Amino acid sequence: MEAFESAILPVMPLKDAVLFPSAITPLFVIRQSSLHALEAALKADKRLFITCQRSGDVENPGKEDLYDVGTVGEILQVLRIPDGSAKILVEGIYAARAIDYIPNGDLTQALLVRLDVGDIDDDLTPAYRRATLTLFERFVQLSDKVPEELYQSIRSLEDPLSLVHAITNYSTIGQKQKQQILESHSLEEKFMLLNSLLEKENQVLEMEGQIVSQVKTQIGRSQREYFLNEQLKTIERELGIGADENQELEELREQIERAALPKEAHAKAEKELARLARMAPMSPEATVSRTYIEWLTEIPWHKRTNEQIDLHHAREILDQDHFGLEKVKERIIEFLAVAKLSGGTKGPLLCLVGPPGVGKTSLARSIARSIGREFVRIALGGVRDEAEIRGHRRTYIGALPGKLIQSMKRAGTINPVLLLDEIDKMSSDFRGDPSSAMLEVLDPEQNKAFNDHYIEVDYDLSQVLFVATANTTAEIPLPLQDRLEIIRLSGYTDLEKVEIATRHLVPRAIKDNGLKRTQVGFDRKALLALINGYTREAGVRNLEREIQTICRKIATQVVSAAEESKSAPRTRVTPAVIRELLGPEKFKESARSGVRVVGNTIGLAWTEVGGEILNVEVRSMAGKGDLILTGKLGDVMKESARTALSYIRSLAPRLRIDSEQIGKLDIHIHLPEGAIPKDGPSAGITLAASLASSLSGIPARQDVAMTGEVTLHGRVLKIGGLKEKVLAAHRNGIRTIIIPEDNVQEIDEIPTEVRKKVAFRPVGTLEQVLEIVLGMTLDPAAAPTAKLEIARKLMGGAKAAGGRGAQA
């Protein structure tokens, strides 16, 4: 029976629940449509029409997915959740039927009529009530899911309809049965349906209790796991699962036999297979054993690549893949020649050291290609756990072999070329030191029995050709360096970069961007402009990026012309075209010839990314004689600055500087690009020249770069990284370089084209440096005068002390 009272309310569908009148229920509101309905109700009278979906699998239900009968509920409380959803507390008011569902923007509204329930005979009401309460009391005793307070509260309800709805709401009756009770127009029918359903639920609960009771009496706690496993095996036999398990064990056994494992590894695999056969298939231990057997059988134990070391072929491959690097190629050919004669690769392992982008990784790949071996790479950058090298023990969850064993599995042979990339980037912490684990790996006398913690069987790595790469040797521990033969790769000259771009970078960029050689071409002048104006680096990585950028822009022009049914003309990349596509030059060569600046000099530094120029600025001002050092200088460079200042002060009379005045000056030494750390002793003569220029007021030449360590007596000592520093000076347009005399023999290692353009000025003392940079000859007559003045002061001090001096 339906009353004529009608209303239009927002609809909030529930997936798997039914709300009854008089029931107070918490609801989680997650769906957007339900959140819009909630907002609409809060803006009105806080009432919603809450109905159940016919299927909980429908995410966005339409009116055909909703029951017509539901409950009008009033929102009592709203709790907003940070993820945008909400939790609300709703009280059912009355049951209602939806005459129609009306879409309204982001929500659905329902036209409702109230659903009234017919009364029953007053004589029958107590009987139905008592029967229902008896069944519900039994349900509460069996299920333990209804708290005692809630049961007493329901029992005290006087209204029979409220009683039926409350018991239905808090029982474990299915959703469809609850909906059937809600839709019923007759109170008597509601009672009968509820009593029938409660009776069935009580029977199920009683049977469940009997089963549990029987199990508890028949088996003790110690036998429970065995009983469950036996039950599981029985079920698996009935379902035919056991056949699959036996098949899997047979496949693993065949896999062990095919792998032809060494004696120790074979025994280990058989033992693990026997353990696996006794385990439950779904147990975690079974998964661990199965994975371990698979690793043992998939690692190569005997399979090797038939290498063919042909020096002529190897030279062709190296020349084809790389331009220049003649000394490096020569050393690789020597290494292969020795390997061919000795029948193995025992001896020092190659470590290619150089700035980024000079071809270290590709050289290792070329070595593998030239001798016909497999190539695998291990990235060691950021590795700080010893287990990354040696593997995790199988007692840990998710344990795996180390990177070496994983790489051998990827290679599939026992003699690949294995690249240890960025070996200088390994670090250590509380989990261990991976560089110490590498000592065994790289020692030819030890790696034939390498023991991985996961495999637990000795593995032969002696036939692997290891090649390492690094940007610098400073971070490689000395014991590890002792096992490596360092081959240094310096930066490329401009002409070498042009050749590399012409042979490799430009063709690859044209292909990568879908262009053809008939559509684009690069002038040599354009490549030089690109090298000098847009990239200043030791390698060619940034050069390749800029070439790729140009090709992408040309590809855009080609596609745009095709869309307009036009044929794009062939683009000849010239310096003018580069400026048009890439914008103004990033680096401009300043006019250094003839320029002089007081207190400013140019030094040379060596970094992980190659050589760099180092600007040094010094200013002196009235003060208390303090030395101020800025520019993020390291301890060694700070000591070099103090040493240089001490020597310059000792030269003060010869530099025509008032020595007493220096003590009243604050001297500020600054190296620009203050965010970059700087250290090392090779800037000593640069710091001294800047100090001399600032204190004497004589401007220093800006077309001269210098490098050398200075001593307290003004001697200039040998430095490292000369080739990289000279290339950096050449890239920056500097044509005069001051170097220590002890480095003269290294000039032959510098490319011929650079030597022709650069004038080297070897020096042995700081006085020679000052003559070149400041253009001044030190006053020789001032030196004895200064010494005489010091002697007079000492004699005066002796007389003041009472005339007691040393006697000859």
Tokens in use for 628? Answer: 């101020």
Query: In terms of Cα–Cα distance, which of 157, 12, 4, 164 is closest to 74?
Result: 12
DSSP 3-state assignment of 482? coil
Question: With DSSP H G I counted as helix, E B as strand and the rest as coil, what are the percentages for the chain, rounded to 5?
Answer: 45, 20, 35
Closest CA to 56 of 45, 67, 46: 67
Q: Tell me how far apart the alpha carbons of residues 481 and 486 are, in angstroms, rounded to a whole number.
A: 8
Burial label for 553, CB within 10 Å (0-12, 13-18, 19+), is middle
Q: If residue 100 lies in a helix (H) or strand (E), which one and from where to where?
A: strand 86-104
Cα separation, 214 vs 229, in Å, equals: 18
Measured between alpha carbons, how far is 53 from 66 in angstroms, rounded to an integer? 5
* AA identity, residue 631: G
Nearest residue to 336 via CA among 250, 189, 465? 465
Termini Cα distance of the chain: 137
DSSP-derived letter for residue 567 is P
Q: Residues 683, 637: contact at Cβ < 8 Å?
A: yes
Q: Is 682 a catalytic residue?
A: yes
Tell me the H-state helices in 240-394. 241-259, 263-278, 284-298, 311-321, 326-342, 360-371, 387-390
> Among residues 33, 682, 690, 696, which one is catalytic?
682
> HSE-up of 476 (CA within 13 Å, CB side)?
26
* Token representation of residue 153: 């509260």
SS (H, E, C) 160-212: HHHHHHHHHHHCCCCHHHHHHHHHCCEHHHHHHHHHHHHHHHHHHHHHHHHHH
Q: Of 129, 176, 171, 180, which is closest to residue 150 (Cα–Cα)?
A: 171
Give the residue from 67, 69, 71 showing the smallest Cα distance to 91: 71
**Interatomic CA distance for residues 738 and 307, integer angstroms:** 49
> Count of CB atoms within 10 A of residue 19's CB?
26
CB 215: neighbour CB atoms within 10 A? 11
How many residues are recorded in the chain?
Answer: 808
Which run of H or of E encompasses 760? Answer: strand 759-763
- CA distances 496 to 508, 536, 546, 732, Å, are 17, 14, 17, 16
Element (H, E) at 103: strand 86-104
Q: For residues 481-504, b (16+ Cβ closer than 10 Å) or e, as one string?
A: eebbeebbbbbbbbbbbbbbbeeb
Do the Cβ atoms of 1 and 185 come closer than 8 Å?
yes
How does DSSP assign 32-99, residue by residue? HHHHHHHHHHHHTTSEEEEEEBS-TT-SS--GGGB-SEEEEEEEEEEEE-TTS-EEEEEEEEEEEEEE
172 residue type, one letter: T
- Can you tell me whether residue 448 is helix, strand or coil? helix
**How many other CB atoms sit within 10 Å of the CB of residue 37?**
25
Contact (Cβ atoms closer than 8 angstroms) between residue 697 and residue 675: no
Catalytic residue IDs: 682, 725
